[in-house]
Each structure stands twice: as C-alpha cells, then as structure tokens.
Structure 1
Amino acid sequence: MTALPGAAWEAGLVAQLDEAPGVTVVRRCVDLADLLATAASGTGSAVLLSADLRRLDRDAVARLAAAGVAAVGVVPGNDREAERRLRALGVHVVVAVEAGAEAVTAAVTRAVRQLAQTEGAAPRPALAYAEPLRSLPGGEEQPAEPEAEAEAAPDAAPGRLVAVWGPAGAPGRTSVAVTVASEAARLGVPTVLADADVYGGVVAQCLGLLDESPGLAAAARMAGTGALDAPALARLAPVVDPRLRVLTGIPRAHRWPELRPAGLEQVYALARQLARLVVVDCGFCLEQDEELSFDTAAPRRNGATLTTLELADVVVAVCSADAVGVQRFVRALADLRELVPGAVLRVVVNRVRRAPVGPDPERQLADALERYAGLRDCVFVPEDRAAFDSALLTGRTLADQAPGSAARGPLKRLASELVGAAEPERRRLRRRRPA
C-alpha cells in the first residue's frame, strides 16, 4: 500500500514498483483513515508513508503494527526534517525516493522481516488495542512472546523502569510509589516518578502539586506527534526534591484517551535517558474486553497500564495486609502472571497490623501468600497511618515529614535494592553467643 498524498513523485514511484519484482502495489490510500481501514482488512503487508500524511502520529504507526503492516518511510533525498519526523513517530525504515524501485523494494522486505522478528516485543500491540476478531466464534488469540524483549540491546535504555501495581481496593499503590521514588532520589539516584493511573491518579495531590496540566498526558501528546525529546520531557517533569522529577497524571478518569500507549512507550524511553530509575504508579485494572464493545482496533482503556507492565523491568505488586486484600491480590496476581508471564515481581505487603490478621501478622501473611500464590521473600510494611496522613496533609514525602516512621525502613531498603545501592541499615551487629 502507499500513503503518499500530495507527493509529485508518487505516480512515478508506483509505476516503477509495478514493474519491479517482489512487490505489488495493492492500494493507493488517499488519507490516514483510508490507510488504517485498508490495513485492518489485511489487504497488504507493508505501506509506504510520507512525512506529509495528515494526522500521522505514533498511535497510527502502532495501529499499523497491530494490523501486521510494516511501515516504510519514503522521503526526498535532501529532506532531513521529513526523515527525522518519521523516525520520531516510530518508522524505523526510511528510504530516499531517488534511490529507485530496487532500493524501495529492499526497504519493504527489510521492514516486513523486522516486524515479524519483533512481534511480541513491548509494547505488544495486542495489549494496547482491542482485537475484535477474538470476540468472534473460533477467534484465535495471538500467542505471546515474552522472551522477545530479552533480545534488546543492553545499552538501549540505561535507566530502569519500575511499575507499581496492585488490585482494586486501594492497597496503597501511590503511597508505595511515592515513597520508593523519594527514597531512591535521597540515595543520590536521579529518579522520575510518573502517574499513569487512568482512573484518576493522585500523585500530584500527595506531593502538593497542581494537576491542571498533567505532565504525563502532555508528554504523551508530544510523543505522538514526534515533538518530544529529553529536554522537552525535563521541562514537563518539575523537580520536587533534589534528583526527583514528577510527571503528574490525569485528574479525571474520562481523560484516559490522552494516555495513548504508543506515546507512553516513547515517554518511558526518554525518561530512562533522563533518570536512572523511573517509577510509574499504574492503575489497578487489567481487563481486555474492549473487543466486546468495538468492531475496530480501538485503543484499550487499560492500554496505559498494560503497556507499562509489559515494558517494566520490575513490577512492584502491592497487597493490602488483611483477609479481603490478600484474597483480591491472589486472584489479581494470577491475571498479572497470565498477562506478563516474564515479569520480575517484587511483592509489598502494605499496612501490616495485628488487628485484622492476629498475632505475628508477618508470619501469617507470609504463610498465606506462599501457600496460595507461591510467593516468598515479600516486603512487609507496617501500618503507620499517622505518618502518611501527616505527609499527605503537608504535601511532603514520608522521609521529609516523618523520617523515623516504621513504614519507611522496608520501603527504603526496597528502593536500595531497585537501584542496586548498598543499604547501610541492613548491617546489624551480631551478638556473640556465650561459649
């Protein structure tokens, strides 16, 4: 397929391709809507794109990938700006029109092979967009390929992405995310804290920030148009503490379409360049039932959460320390493992106290999680409601407002573990036993 509207050289290129072996032009699309509809029908396996195609963005390129269509950019040889824009939108194969039909054919073949090789790598299109075919009788689900991400180059992203997730019922995801990010920053590690909760994040309120202009949504919009770079992301993420930047989230749930997965992929990639640790507060919901409501490849409401979990190097799963919280966590954890089977999990049992559990709550909770979920070596955070309430009232972190809080120690050690730093507090003197 071609999508080269307004290009004076389109007709000549199509005529050359018709005579070239190995490639057949099946449709000349007049606009982006025509292209996406044709791609969804399975008509072609690749498309030649122009940087001048109206409304072309990263989301459109991701939808093409979800339909199994490889994107190839075609630009005039001297138009460096057009090539830069296409690459910023996620079109990795770009060829000059002056190179001729043979070079264009080779570029198409290379792009199709690359798409086949990277299918299943994060973010998986199946997570970001609804799959209407799955709702039909006999519809087959595409198998996941969790190992594809392991083949990425080791120097592609220097920073580490940590997703903080938990089931419904407010187990304390935001409190854990904010505390872990702040403790990492206090260890001298440049850190970015992002609020990707599509049901209404509250990171801004916890830190006393304004949320009229959500930083993460603005960054995702800029990434969608190819205008986001590291300096622009730094301007959208204000410094709230030394070495701690914050990307505030959407204050209202109906604004979830602003957090497009294709844009978030680029935001996270640049955040990894900006900081050594990127902590993302995720939403709770992992449902993927949009194909029951849409007959097109519509973006999933939970696409931001699903994509964040797929991209994360570590998933910090938060469990509330009571009977209801443990039950919800065990059931939701099964869905998480099915969704991202290759995820590295670190479980935080939050608000540990004797009242809802009984004597020796840590031991009882550890036994229950090991028995019903096969989990060991969990992080237990004792209940300290007064300290967290005081921090919320003043819009400060736990370390600033209540440095001696009992809840701070376990989360500080977790932050040290995530950034690979030594933890002085874990070194304890051993008593000598009497001879």
Structure 2
Amino acid sequence: MTQVLLAVDFEFDLILFELLSEVDEVTIVARPADDVELLALCRTGSADAVIVGQYFPGLDAQVIAAIRAAGTAVLGFGNDAEALEALGIGSHVPSTADAETVAQALDDTRDSTVVPPRPSTPPGPPGGQGHIVTVWGTGSSPGRTLTAVNLGDHGARQGHRSVVVDADTVAAMVATTLGLTEESAHLASLCRLEAEKTPPLDVSAVPHAAIREDFHAVTGLTRPDRWPEIRASVLTAVLARLATMFDLVVVDVADRVDPDDDFADPFYDRHCATRASLDAADTVLVLAAGDPIGLQRLVKLLGTDRAESMGSKMRIGITKVRAGAVGHPAEVRIREVLNRFVRRDPDFIFSDEPATVDAAMLAGHTLHEANPKSVLSQEIADVVAELLPARKRSRKPGARRRATSL
C-alpha cells in the first residue's frame, strides 16, 4: 500500500483524486493547500510519496529538495516535462495518464528513492557569464552598503554593465545611499516573478532603478518584516539570471547569516538570503572596520565554519583605516594583528574619508560623484580592476538618472 499526498495544480486535483481512488494499492492521505502544509506532512512521515504539479502554490526547487530530504518520493504530474525537471523532479507522468500508469510510476519512484543528506545550499540554476560579488562582513557598520554601491559604480565606469542588488533583509539601504526616493521593493518583485515562473528575459523587463545607462540598482525591502518574500532558492535563481544580463552583479547583504532560532528550519529563516547570496557569489568580499573591535570581530568571523567553507573566493577588506584607531603606521598594525591571529593578510585596505562619505550620503551620490579625487573611491576602483578585466567604452557614460524605475 502506497500512501500519497496530492499537491497538484487546482485544475487536476479532483481529477487525479478520483482517478487514484480506483486503485486499491494507493491511499490518498491528504491534499495540502500550499508548500508549508506539504512540507509539514512530509516531515512527519505522513506519506510514502507526493504527486506534485508545477503550479502548486509555493513549489520550487528548494521545496522539492526538502521533500526528498524527509525521505518522501516525488512524482511530477503535468505535460511540461522541462519545467518539472527544472524543479529537480526526474520522474513524472502526463496529465492524460490513466490510473494504472500513475500507480506504476508511484511504485517505481518510491522504490528508487534514496534519502540523501540534507543539502547545505538550496539547488538552483547555474550562473551566467557575469561576475557575482557579495559584500558581507562583521557588525559595527564596516560600510557594506557604501562599498557595494561604489563597486557597482566603478564597475560601470570601467566598462562593465553593473547592477547592485540589495539583499539585506534586516536593513535595506541601497536606495537611501543612492538617493532614490521611490518606495519600490524591486528584489521582492523579481523573486515573485521567478517563483511564478514568469522571469524577465532581458534587462528592460527587470524591476530596477537606472542610475546611469550602464549602472543599475535592484532595491531591497521597504520594510524589514517583508523578509519572507525573499526565499533562498528563488534568490539564487534571481542572481543567476541577473548574471546572464549584467557583467557585474554586486550583492549587499546583512552581517547576520545564521537563523535567529537555532531550532528553526534553515530553509525558512530571515537570514537565508545572506546564505544564498554567499553561496551564489564568485567573490565574497568580507569587510571589517579597522579598529580594535572591528578586527576582533573579524578574527572571530574568520574562525567560523561558514568563513572556512568559502575558501579561495573570500577576499578580506579593512575599512575606515586610520592611525588613531590602531597605531602608526595603520596598515602595518592591521597586518600584524591578522597575521598573528588568523595567519592571513587583508586583500584590500580602505582609507577613512568621513568628509567625502558624508557629502556623498547627504547628496545621495557615489563617492566619485561627490569627490572625483577621493582616495577611498580610487581604492574601490582598484578592487573592481583586480576582480574584473577592464573594458573599452564605446561611449562616455550618460548623465545620471535619479528616479527611473522599471
């Protein structure tokens, strides 16, 4: 006897229920309303298998992986085999299948299902040709958003089509930093389009603000309590799609990475966006303030499993470096500390320029716009030049556009 959950599209629910009711070897134990109820049933061992349709509410690759991790077999039901396979469903039957065919497919799927170890990262589509840089770091405000915005700005100035993505689910500040007054949560809109399987196919269809012709911003959540709208697997797919449209994708994230509740499901917590952005990145720029507290927090962060798992793609940047905080010469002192405690040199050193930063924030400008001769701005430009080869421009950058939103 095979116990089955029905999680199919609304139009097929009753048809499939009546069809399987005729099969003695199959018992339908529940017909969940959405992905949350479906996962709850799977994790309590309520069924041997689940039949899913591609338009079932909340269904994505992350949910399919969680179902399999619970030891429940998954059988796809529908006519779009490519869409079902994209969700990670290898076995499926068409909507025209008879009761005997469905029952046999259920048996085959159940017998071939092996419970895998829980994945450390949700599955998602492969990335494109663009380079994804996730700006992470310690607490104590090392300047993650400021650095992310100016990395995007200098990427564009060096000939790369760039986009800054605000994936900070605690305090989204990219829009404020760039002086954008609109109240649009572009990232939430992108995730919704991706989840509904109607993703944008080119830049013109991407919800974003056009700062310049080659510099764009995907703004974050307008309220922190909207964090459930940014799910890890969907964000992974969004970043991969953006990487096919932009040369440089800079992702600004919160410093928090672990669940607020140790007993929470790691796939459904506020900081899953940070983990997804770190995993999707080609380069992770870890920032820490160049003062005793900031350096101590960096040493602790570098000792975590998360930091060690990032390996060679992690780069370290020390911000707000000044001799008054660590002694003279400041850069030498900082390198001594990191070599002593973590046996590693910082990759980048960023000067402390409060006057330029204040002027840029007050006007909603980038550092280069506020002061073209800024040392800090040039240091960030050097980071982009090291991460990406420069490209020749076909034309000069266009004038800045303040409130363009698509």
TM-score bin, normalised by smaller chain = 0.7 to 0.9
CA separation in 2, counterparts of 1:276 and 1:108? 41
CA separation in 2, counterparts of 1:354 and 1:166? 21
- The equivalent of 1:246 in structure 2 is 217
Q: Using a 3 Å threshold, how does the CA distance of structure 1 residues 181 and 411 change in structure 2: closer, same or farther?
A: same
Please say if 1:73 is aligned against 2:81.
no
- The equivalent of 1:258 in structure 2 is 229
Q: Using a 3 Å threshold, how does the CA distance of structure 1 residues 2 and 287 change in structure 2: closer, same or farther?
A: closer
Contact 2:169 2:254 (C-alpha < 8 Å) held by counterparts: yes
Q: Can you list the C-alpha shifts for 1:2-44, whole angstroms capped at 9, x where unaligned?
A: 31462424443575694xxxxx767453533552222111344
Q: Using a 3 Å threshold, how does the CA distance of structure 1 residues 222 and 394 change in structure 2: closer, same or farther?
A: same
- The equivalent of 1:104 in structure 2 is 105
Contact 1:58 1:226 (C-alpha < 8 Å) held by counterparts: no
Instruction: Specify the code of the residue in structure 1 equivalent to 2:375.
Output: A
- The equivalent of 1:316 in structure 2 is 285
Contact 1:193 1:279 (C-alpha < 8 Å) held by counterparts: yes
Q: Using a 3 Å threshold, how does the CA distance of structure 1 residues 25 and 175 change in structure 2: closer, same or farther?
A: same
Q: What are the within-5 Å matches in structure 2 for residues 185-200 of structure 1?
A: 185-200=156-171
SS in 1 for 2:206: helix
Please say if 1:176 is aligned against 2:176.
no
Q: Using a 3 Å threshold, how does the CA distance of structure 1 residues 204 and 96 change in structure 2: closer, same or farther?
A: same
Please say if 1:120 is aligned against 2:119.
yes
- The equivalent of 1:352 in structure 2 is 321
Q: Using a 3 Å threshold, how does the CA distance of structure 1 residues 365 and 256 change in structure 2: closer, same or farther?
A: same
Q: Using a 3 Å threshold, how does the CA distance of structure 1 residues 355 and 89 change in structure 2: closer, same or farther?
A: same
Instruction: Specify the code of the residue in structure 2 equivalent to 1:391.
Output: A
CA separation in 2, counterparts of 1:347 and 1:259? 27
- The equivalent of 2:130 in structure 1 is 159
SS in 1 for 2:350: strand
Q: Using a 3 Å threshold, how does the CA distance of structure 1 residues 65 and 401 change in structure 2: closer, same or farther?
A: farther
- Offset of 1:397 from its aligned partner? 1.4
Q: Using a 3 Å threshold, how does the CA distance of structure 1 residues 66 and 105 change in structure 2: closer, same or farther?
A: closer
Instruction: Specify the code of the residue in structure 1 equivalent to 2:319.
Output: N
CA separation in 2, counterparts of 1:66 and 1:290? 21
CA separation in 2, counterparts of 1:376 and 1:54? 48
Please say if 1:414 is aligned against 2:383.
yes
- The equivalent of 2:50 in structure 1 is 47
- The equivalent of 1:273 in structure 2 is 244
CA separation in 1, counterparts of 2:355 and 2:90? 52
Instruction: Specify the code of the residue in structure 2 equivalent to 1:256.
Output: W
Q: Can you list the C-alpha shifts for 1:295-348, whole angstroms capped at 9, x where unaligned?
A: x77721111112211222211000101111101111122236357454621111
Q: Using a 3 Å threshold, how does the CA distance of structure 1 residues 181 and 194 change in structure 2: closer, same or farther?
A: same
Please say if 1:396 is aligned against 2:398.
no
- Offset of 1:405 from its aligned partner? 0.7
Aligned counterpart in structure 1 of residue 192 of structure 2, from 221, 238, 255: 221
Please say if 1:8 is aligned against 2:11.
no
Q: Using a 3 Å threshold, how does the CA distance of structure 1 residues 381 and 30 change in structure 2: closer, same or farther?
A: closer
CA separation in 1, counterparts of 2:266 and 2:196? 20
Instruction: Specify the code of the residue in structure 1 equivalent to 2:195.
Output: G
Question: TM-score normalised to the size of structure 1?
Answer: 0.76
CA separation in 2, counterparts of 1:248 and 1:216? 6
Larger displacement relative to structure 2 (223-232 or 188-197): 223-232
CA separation in 1, counterparts of 2:136 and 2:148? 9
CA separation in 1, counterparts of 2:247 and 2:37? 42
Aligned counterpart in structure 2 of residue 376 of structure 1, from 330, 342, 345: 345
Residue identity over aligned pairs, in percent, reads 27
CA separation in 1, counterparts of 2:204 and 2:31? 34
SS in 1 for 2:13: coil
Aligned counterpart in structure 2 of residue 29 of structure 1, from 4, 28, 31: 31
Q: Using a 3 Å threshold, how does the CA distance of structure 1 residues 380 and 342 change in structure 2: closer, same or farther?
A: closer
Q: How many residues align?
A: 381
Contact 1:89 1:224 (C-alpha < 8 Å) held by counterparts: no
Instruction: Specify the code of the residue in structure 2 equivalent to 1:122.
Output: T
- Offset of 1:232 from its aligned partner? 7.8
RMSD value over aligned CA atoms? 3.4
